[in-house]
Amino acid sequence: MPLYMMLCTDKPGAIETRKATREAHLAYVAETGCVTLAGPLLDDTGEMAGSLIILDLPDIAAAREWGANDPYALAGLFESVRLQEWKKVIG
């Protein structure tokens, strides 16, 4: 299956939304089983400020659906989301 990159930027000042939703987000990641690599983006102070997620799904429509159902997205955490097919070359 192809891989898809989600690059998500949190809304300014949304760290409490992220913290309050983190456990549900991690449970969703574990439950769906399609995340191959993920982690938070950090701002200049080391606080979580976004997410980088690599999804292994059959097509971009499935990746959009996964993203739309992520508890972070449902909580309105993200200011922007970039979704694009990604090709692994190294690692």
**For residue 91, is pLDDT > 90?**
no
CATH number of residue 54's parent domain: 3.30.70.1060
79 occurs within a structural domain: yes
27 occurs within a structural domain: yes
Residue 8, domain extent: 3-86
Residues 6+ apart with CB under 8 A from 20: 75
Over residues 68-88, the mean pLDDT reads 98
CA distance 54 to 41: 13
* pLDDT number for residue 30: 97
Mark out the alpha helices in 8-79 (DSSP H runs).
15-32, 60-69, 71-74
For 11-49, what is each residue's pLDDT tens digit?
999 999 999 999 999 999 999 999 999 999 999 999 999
Q: Backbone phi, then psi, for 58, in 5-degree steps?
A: -70, -30
* Structural domain count of the chain: 1
Predicted confidence band of residue 63 (pLDDT cuts 50, 70, 90): very high
- 3-class SS at 90? coil
70 occurs within a structural domain: yes
> What are 41's strand-pairing partners?
50
Over residues 59-84, the mean pLDDT reads 98
91 occurs within a structural domain: no
Over residues 80-88, the mean pLDDT reads 97
